[in-house]
């Protein structure tokens, strides 16, 4: 069984980490604008879905949106728009009630309108998830996030094979 949630995109879902003084977030009709200013290769330009540091689960404010619930797998669909090609490092993190329980990352290239399909297979005991994007950019770069959907896949329990109707 699959259920889908579409997030109303607003900057309060996203938190800059690292070189925060070089990151501006703006709400727009078309989504959320990530505006990186005077970035250098040495900057750490992270945008995280939901709050708290990378080591900790989201605060109570976001736990309902970040919960695995009964899901075994979370599918996140994001659409980015950029005028210049941009490489990002994508982090997929999972948490128990107090600490991070698992993390993996991969590199992705954004070019024009780019749809990302992100899958998180729940690790044993995980209650919550977060996604972070590390933007590997230099100079002044503007990137829009125009769509964010979360689909949950819940594994149905198999019926007892000895049960007869």
Domain ranges of the chain: 2-153
Residues pairing with 129 in the sheet:
94
Question: pLDDT of 40-94, one tens digit each?
Answer: 989 999 999 999 889 999 999 989 889 998 889 999 999 999 999 999 999 999 9
pLDDT at residue 36, rounded to an integer? 93
Q: What share of the chain is helix, strand, coil (3-state, %, to 5)?
A: 5, 60, 35
Predicted TM-score of the model (pTM): 0.85
pLDDT at residue 148, rounded to an integer? 87
What count of residues does the chain have? 165
Choose among 15, 141, 3: nearest CA to 72: 3
Question: pLDDT of 132-163, one tens digit each?
Answer: 999 999 999 999 999 888 888 887 555 445 44
Question: pLDDT of 39-48, one tens digit each?
Answer: 998 999 999 9
- What is the band of 37 on the pLDDT scale with cuts at 50, 70, 90? very high
Residue 131 backbone phi and psi in degrees, to 5: -125, 140
Question: Could you tell me the fold of the domain covering 2-153?
Answer: Jelly Rolls (2.60.120)
pLDDT at residue 163, rounded to an integer? 43
Residues pairing with 19 in the sheet:
none
Compare 23 and 15 and report the one with higher pLDDT. 23
Question: pLDDT of 120-135, one tens digit each?
Answer: 999 999 999 999 999 9
Q: How many CB atoms lie within 10 A of CB 19?
A: 16
pLDDT at residue 165, rounded to an integer? 42
| Ordered DSSP codes for 51-101 | SS-TTSPPPTTTHHHHB-TT-SEEEEEEEEEEEEEEEEEEEEEEE-SSSEE
Both tokens of 114, joined, read 């780019």
CA-CA-CA-CA dihedral for 107, 68, 25, 99, to nearest 10: -80
Q: Which residues of 116-143 are buried (b: 16+ CB within 10 A; e: fewer)?
A: bebebebeeebbbbbbbbbbebeeebbb
Q: Are 90 and 107 in contact (CB under 8 A)?
A: yes
Q: Are 146 and 30 in contact (CB under 8 A)?
A: yes
């Amino acid at each position: 069984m699959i259920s889908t949630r579409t997030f109303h995109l607003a900057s309060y879902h996203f938190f800059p980490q690292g070189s925060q003084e070089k990151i501006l977030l703006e709400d727009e009709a078309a989504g959320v604008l990530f505006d990186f200013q005077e970035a250098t290769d040495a900057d750490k330009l992270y945008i995280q879905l939901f709050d708290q540091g990378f080591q900790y689960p989201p605060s109570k404010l976001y736990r309902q949106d970040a919960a695995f619930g009964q899901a075994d797998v979370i599918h996140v669909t994001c659409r980015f728009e950029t005028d210049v090609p941009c490489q990002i490092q994508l982090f997929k993190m999972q948490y128990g009630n107090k600490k991070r329980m698992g993390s993996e990352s991969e590199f992705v290239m954004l070019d024009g309108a780019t749809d990302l399909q992100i899958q998180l297979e729940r690790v044993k005991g995980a209650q919550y998830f977060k996604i972070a994007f590390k933007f590997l950019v230099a100079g002044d770069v503007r990137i829009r996030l125009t769509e964010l959907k979360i689909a949950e896949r819940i594994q149905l329990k198999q019926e007892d094979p000895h049960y007869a109707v």
